[in-house]
Amino acid sequence: SQTIHQWPATLVQPVGSPLSLECTVEGTSNPNLYWYRQAAGRGLQLLFYSVGIGQISSEVPQNLSASRPQDRQFILSSKKLLLSDSGFYLCAWSVSPDTEAFFGQGTRLTVV
């Protein structure tokens, strides 16, 4: 069966420090991969999505970047975190855009 792993679950980082959040999917090939951010009590904002290795589409210009070095690995990065980068980050995958998405458990990032 397919599973998605996202870590860490919580992270407290100082302003100006780098960030690397990792997401991996098991049990499927060539998944569509997504990174979302959720502010407290709000909806999900699509940050990046990827339909294949090295293919990244950015939705919101900001202090973050994404990479897909392997078929089932999706990484969210920042060189220098800002206070406004705090939030709940969710990774998801789907077989195709027309099918259901499966979410990781999320990473609660607090930038101090």
Partner 1 sequence: SQQGEEDPQALSIQEGENATMNCSYKTSINNLQWYRQNSGRGLVHLILIRSNEREKHSGRLRVTLDTSKKSSSLLITASRAADTASYFCATKFDSSYKLIFGSGTRLLVRP
Of 49, 64, 86, 111, the residue at the interface with partner 1 (CB under 8 A) is 49
Interface stretch with partner 1, choices 19-27, 43-51, 60-68, 71-79 (CB under 8 A): 43-51
Size of the site for partner 1 (CB under 8 A): 28
Q: Does 11 bind partner 1 (CB under 8 A)?
A: no
Interface stretch with partner 1, choices 12-20, 62-70, 73-81, 98-106 (CB under 8 A): 98-106
Q: Does 103 bind partner 1 (CB under 8 A)?
A: yes
Q: Please say whether the beta carbons of 78 and 65 come within 8 A.
A: yes
- CA dist 6 and 94 (Å) reads 15
- CA dist 30 and 7 (Å) reads 21
Of 39, 24, 16, 31, the residue nearest 111 (C-alpha): 16
